[in-house]
Structure 1
Amino acid sequence: MKTNWGFGPPKEPKEPKGTDGEGPRDTAAADTARSEQHTWTGGSQLATRVVVGLLWAALIAGPLALALQVLLPENRPVVRQDGYVDRIGEAAAVSEFAERAVVAWLETPAERSDALRAYFGDLGLSRADVPWTTSGSAVAEIVKDDSGLWSVTVGVDAAEGKPPADAEPAAEPAEDTAETPAETPAEDDANAEDDAGEGEDGEAEPVQRITAGRLYFQVPVLYVDGEMIAQALPSPVPAPDEFDQLASAYDHGLASDHPAFARVANFLSAMLVSGDQASLEAYSSPGTSFRVLNPVPYAGVQVETIVAAGGDAPSEEPSDGETAEVQANVTLSGSNGEELGAQYALVLQAREGRWEVAQLRTSPALAEPVPLPEPVPVTPTPTPGTSTSQGTSSQGPSQTPSDEPTREAGSDPPTGSTTESP
């Protein structure tokens, strides 16, 4: 076989010689040499073809991908018909906008009131010369009302600004010096009741006012295709109503010498203080995946009490698979010696006659259900030309036999109607 390596014309292969250098070598040996050379050159050609094929595939894939990108329709995420996915992102954007708007409304002085147009547009922007100072703002409530606007309640720690020392005091409102008309007997009785809440000197007790504290403001926000604007200036509103805690299901305390008490204490110590993952797993049920705090923020933990749910304390010698709901009331100590209270709701499970931690609950066990809001009745909106009652329309009742009006037994038929015999 003639092979050209690029260094001139191919050379004729020399006739193989024998071992003595004079005669030709064995014919089988020559054939073997030619076979090895053919195998090596054939593999090189195959690799070259594979590389060329891959290069052509890469060149074709680029334009093909571009064509698919242009011709295929845009891939959009599937959204439920009620717009649930959109509502999540929309509510988050509106919350952030309302929080910034309320803070800007409080902190912007009169000389920079034009900066508020980004939030409130051309609404009346009369501002005080001395702005408020704020911190700790957060959204307390957000709902979408029937009009389609978002109503956002923002809580903020606010304090009135102090005017400069050389500023003139604000003018007090003038007192009404007009003569008071004679009061009727009924008005005398009403005034007597009002005077009952006044002091001995006849003056009403002053209203307690604050100049700094947690205040709440409600602002309506319009959201359209990612753009937002406040539909009105923020309105000061009362703080959200407080609600009494629900009854706890933990009603039976464990003695400090109870076996479960020590197991829970050792479990919390390993998780919060020592950071020993092996010890944590030793006090856990098989199959759990509890992790220690890393890095460890506390220098000590003291389990004050452990309370069980269900009316009875967990058995000191439980059977395998038995479970118990407990709450551990603990005191955490920092490296500075300061203490901090905490509570852990745990589920214990028995194995081989001992209690192990099987679950860290996200919420405590309750003795009463969480109250759910009552569903708001939906009133269908009648469309033009139709009636709100079922089976009727603007053209009168349906003429099907099942919709014929009924009458009480023994009553006369309506005027103009006929009664057919069966």
Structure 2
Amino acid sequence: MKILSKQPVPEPAPEAGDEAATDARDDAYELGGWSTGAQANTTTLVRWVAWVAICGSILLSLGTFLSRPADTPSTDQQPPAGTGAQGAAGFATLYASEYLLAGKGDEGRLAAYYPGAATLRLEGSRGRLTPSQLTVTRLRQTGPDIWSVTVAARLQPPSPPVENDDAKEGDSPDPDTGAGQPPQGESVRFFQVPVACAPRADGSTGYVAMSLPAEVAGPGTVEGPHTVYGTPQPPHDRDPRVRTIRSFLAAYLAGDGDLDRYLAPRTRLTRIAPAPYTAVDVTSLAADGPAEATRVPPDGTVQRLLVSVRARAADGTTLPLTYALTLKTRAGRWEIASLDGAPEARPAPAPSSP
């Protein structure tokens, strides 16, 4: 009996094209001598290195920010000291003072403020006009870095000319020179000064006048606003408000008594020292409520008063003064709640509808 056995079928020999495909597959798993496992490890390492670099950059930037001094201002954002309106006003005041004092030969002094003054020819003696007080009354910007400053000057009257020793007795004074005429009184005159400012090389601000001053008219006056106070009334001793105000002003102006005992809680005032007066007399008061009150209202009541006084100096001279005060009741008495900066104005009436 013949036993039949199954023989393995031999694999066909690879052809030339099949060998190329096999080599390509091998190259896919082995790149540049690296296996796929080595490539995965390298990719992970590169990813971690990138994250470390990013985190390090963030930490470095944060450390640099925190290490910067907090109180160091940026010089690029801070304007130079004295720039703008304040510096222009001060420069104009100095220039106006020198302009008024200047006389013959002072052209160089003025040129320090206005270079064009070097070619001027001034007349009269220096100090013929003497400003005893100067103040800025108007300040407005007319262009970029250009300010128009109006300076008020209180001028002392010029001294009368000295009479010539060779003048004959009985000669009449010369009306053109004013010799022998009584001196005129003080006067207040106004001068408009144009000032330009610009940064200097050292970072400060420089100023220069653009022309000579121009004398102009002074500012006008207006009618003051109506206040909330009633008609002023003479003080009465039986009025508890008067007693509080008298004691408060005596301590505040004359140093008589304890100031704090007349102040409401959380009100802070300091007496004038040294005391300029020896006594204070209340002459009238106007209130925004009852003109006279002999009883203290309930606690928490607030009232505003305009108080007129006469304060006596050490030489016996009295000076009239006016104080705007706010009083408040507490524990059955009036106390000073505030020394107001100005009298309280009455609100303007609402416009009527058409």
Q: Quickly name the TM-score band, shorter chain normalised.
A: 0.5 to 0.7
Amino acid at match of 2:228: A
Q: Using a 3 Å threshold, how does the CA distance of structure 1 residues 254 and 271 change in structure 2: closer, same or farther?
A: same
Residue 84 of structure 2 aligns to a residue whose secondary structure is helix
Task: Say whether 1:142 aligns with 2:145.
Answer: no
- Larger C-alpha radius of gyration, 1 or 2? 2
Deviation at 1:246, TM superposition (A): 1.6
Amino acid at match of 1:217: F
Task: Say whether 1:222 aligns with 2:216.
Answer: no
- Distance in 2 between the 1:269 and 1:356 partners? 14
1:229-251 Cα deviation digits (max 9, x unpaired): 11010011111111222212110
- Distance in 1 between the 2:145 and 2:73 partners? 28
Q: Using a 3 Å threshold, how does the CA distance of structure 1 residues 148 and 92 change in structure 2: closer, same or farther?
A: closer
Amino acid at match of 2:328: Q
Q: Using a 3 Å threshold, how does the CA distance of structure 1 residues 347 and 266 change in structure 2: closer, same or farther?
A: same
Number of residues of Structure 1 aligned to a counterpart in Structure 2: 258
Contact 1:321 1:349 in 2 (8 A): yes
Contact 1:321 1:350 in 2 (8 A): yes
What does residue 216 of structure 2 align with? Answer: 237
Deviation at 1:142, TM superposition (A): 1.3
1:113-141 Cα deviation digits (max 9, x unpaired): 12211111024523112342222122221
Deviation at 1:310, TM superposition (A): 4.0
What does residue 291 of structure 1 align with? Answer: 270
- The one of 60, 66, 85 equivalent to 1:91 is 85
Deviation at 1:92, TM superposition (A): 1.9
What does residue 242 of structure 2 align with? Answer: 261
Please identify runs of 4+ aligned residues in structure 1 that moved more than 6 A. Answer: 85-88, 169-172
- Distance in 2 between the 1:242 and 1:269 partners? 34
Higher RCO, 1 vs 2 (CA within 8 Å, ≥6 residues apart): 2
Amino acid at match of 1:128: E
Contact 1:137 1:154 in 2 (8 A): yes
Deviation at 1:356, TM superposition (A): 1.3
Contact 1:254 1:313 in 2 (8 A): no
What does residue 273 of structure 1 align with? Answer: 254
What does residue 328 of structure 1 align with? Answer: 307
What does residue 302 of structure 1 align with? Answer: 281
- The one of 131, 154, 157 equivalent to 1:157 is 154
- Distance in 2 between the 1:212 and 1:301 partners? 32
Residue 111 of structure 1 aligns to a residue whose secondary structure is coil
Flag structure 2 segments of 5+ consecutive residues without an equivalent.
Answer: 1-66, 168-173, 178-183, 200-204, 349-354
Amino acid at match of 1:117: A
- Distance in 2 between the 1:291 and 1:171 partners? 57
Amino acid at match of 2:124: D
Contact 1:141 1:154 in 2 (8 A): yes
What does residue 342 of structure 2 align with? Answer: 363
Deviation at 1:359, TM superposition (A): 1.2
Q: Using a 3 Å threshold, how does the CA distance of structure 1 residues 211 and 359 change in structure 2: closer, same or farther?
A: closer
- Distance in 2 between the 1:171 and 1:271 partners? 55
Q: Using a 3 Å threshold, how does the CA distance of structure 1 residues 142 and 171 change in structure 2: closer, same or farther?
A: same
Q: Using a 3 Å threshold, how does the CA distance of structure 1 residues 310 and 103 change in structure 2: closer, same or farther?
A: same
Contact 1:275 1:294 in 2 (8 A): no
What does residue 126 of structure 1 align with? Answer: 121
1:51-101 Cα deviation digits (max 9, x unpaired): xxxxxxxxxxxxxxxxx99x99x732695xxx9x77974222211111111
